Amino acid sequence: MKTEIPQIVGPEFLMPIMGCTLATIKVYARSQPEKLPPRFRIPGSNRIRFAMPDVIACVESCREKPDAPEPVKTSIFKGRKGRARVAA
Q: How confident is the model at residue 80 (pLDDT cuts 50, 70, 90)?
A: low
Percent of the chain clearing pLDDT 70 (strictly above): 83
Question: E strands, the chain, where?
Answer: 8-9, 50-51
Whole-model pTM over 0.85: no
Higher pLDDT: 67 or 27? It is 27
pLDDT in tens, 31-42: 999 999 999 998
Q: How confident is the model at residue 10 (pLDDT cuts 50, 70, 90)?
A: very high
Query: What Rg do the C-alpha atoms of the chain give, in angstroms?
Result: 20
